């Protein structure tokens, strides 16, 4: 027989698979953000569906680590985009200046195309590295990139 508690959760003695547990924890997290339920309420709801407080604690810690990692990755991505913009703006300004200088001094020989193309190749490759489709790297390497802590050793 099913009974409803004060939160509208139906309880009955039932076993949950790992997938069910993950979904329940995900839903609990969403509820916590949307309705601002207290941690105690979350633990109470979880206990009513057969999830221990220790499991909720572990899930919460994992969720906090994932959220922190996502924030670091977003900050690193933003920093890389800013670096590209700081590369693109001087390129465009200098290119316009070189074309004007070229047309003013030697209009018959269009020499400014060579430095513009050379520098443009570098700007294009920089942009391609920044705005390419994200490739999922291993967690430790991606985190090291985000934290800028990669070190190389000589053999």
Q: Is residue 122 within 8 Å of residue 131, measured between CB atoms? A: no
Q: Nearest to residue 132, comparing CAs of 84, 70, 69?
A: 84
Among 5-14, 60-69, 143-152, which is the least confidently predicted range?
5-14
Q: Over range 17-33, report the average pLDDT.
A: 75
CA 152 and chain centroid, separation? 25
91-139 pLDDT, tens digit per residue, is: 999 999 999 999 999 999 999 999 999 999 999 999 999 888 655 444 5
Residue 1 pLDDT more than 50? no
Structure tokens at 50: 């057969």
> What is the pTM for the complete model shown?
0.53
Query: Bigger pLDDT: 152 or 95?
Result: 95
Q: Is residue 45 within 8 Å of residue 9, measured between CB atoms? A: yes
Give alpha helix (H) positions in the chain: 18-35, 39-48, 53-105, 113-131, 139-147
CA distance 126 to 91: 12
54-100 pLDDT, tens digit per residue, is: 888 888 899 899 999 999 999 998 999 999 999 999 999 999 999 99
pLDDT of residue 35: 64
Measured in residues, the chain has a length of 155
């Amino acid at each position: 027989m099913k009974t409803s508690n004060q939160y509208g959760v139906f309880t009955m003695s039932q076993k949950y698979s790992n997938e069910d547990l993950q979904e329940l924890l995900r839903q609990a997290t969403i509820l916590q953000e949307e309705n601002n339920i207290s941690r105690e309420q979350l633990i109470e709801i979880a206990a009513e569906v057969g999830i221990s407080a220790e499991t909720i604690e572990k899930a919460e810690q994992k969720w906090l680590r994932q959220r922190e990692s996502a924030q670091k990755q977003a900050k690193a991505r933003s920093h890389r985009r800013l670096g590209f913009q700081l590369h693109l703006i001087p390129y465009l300004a200098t290119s316009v200046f070189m074309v004007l200088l070229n047309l003013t001094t030697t209009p018959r020989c269009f020499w400014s195309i060579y430095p513009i193309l050379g520098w443009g190749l570098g700007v294009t490759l920089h942009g391609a590295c920044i705005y390419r489709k994200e490739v999922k790297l291993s967690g430790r390497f991606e985190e090291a990139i985000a934290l800028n802590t990669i070190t190389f050793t000589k053999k």
